[in-house]
Amino acid sequence: MQLTSDGAWLIGARQVLSPNCDERPADGDVSLIVVHGISLPPGEYGGPWIDDFFTNRLECAVHPYFEEIEGMRVSSHILIRRDGELVQYVPFTRRAWHAGQSCYQGREACNDFAIGIELEGQDDTPYADIQYRRLADLIRLLRRRFPAIGDDAIVGHSDVAPGRKTDPGPAFDWSRLKTLLA
C-alpha cells in the first residue's frame, strides 16, 4: 500500500471523484481518523449505491430508503468494501463531508482535521477479515503521512457524534484493530 508523492491518493485504489468536498481550513492539519460503517440500502452489499450516493447520482426511486437520504451531500475519503476493494472519493489532503456535526476532545467540526474511512457494513453485522487487514494497513500508511494521528486518534463516527450516529457499531471489533496495529 502506497500514497502518491503528494500524499493525496492511495495508489491502486479505484477512484470515484466526489464533488462533496472542499479545502481544509488553514488550521486543519490531519490528526484524526473517523471509522464509519455504511451499506446501501441498509444490510445490502456490493451494489453501486455507495458510489452513487457519494457522487450525488443516487436514484431515489430505486429503494424506499433512498428517499430518506435524498438530497444529502456527503462523502468519505475512502471506502473499504467487504471484499477488500478500496475506493477513494476524496483526496486525503482535502476535506470530505463525512462526520457532520461532530466533536473530538473539545474540538468541533471534525471534517476539518479528520480522514473518514467507510467500511461496507452495518452496526450489528461482523465486518470481514479483509476489511480489518486493509484498515490496519491504511491507518499505518496514513500515520506515516500525517504523524499527528496518535494512537488515541482513531475513533468511530459514534464517538464524534454521540446520540446522532451509531456506526461502525457494536459489531466492530476495536481490540482486533488495535492488535493488528501493534
- In single-letter form, the type of residue at position 34 comes to V
Angle between the 129-145 and 174-181 helix axes, to the nearest 10 degrees?
A: 50
Residue 166, amino acid = T
Cell of 19: 464533488
Cβ pair 39, 53 in contact under 8 A: no
**What one-character DSSP code corresponds to residue 136?**
H
Q: Residue 153: which residues within 8 A CB-CB, separation 6 or more?
A: 31, 32, 33, 104
- Does residue 59 have an active-site annotation? no
Active-site option among 67, 108, 118, 120: 118
Catalytic machinery residues: 118
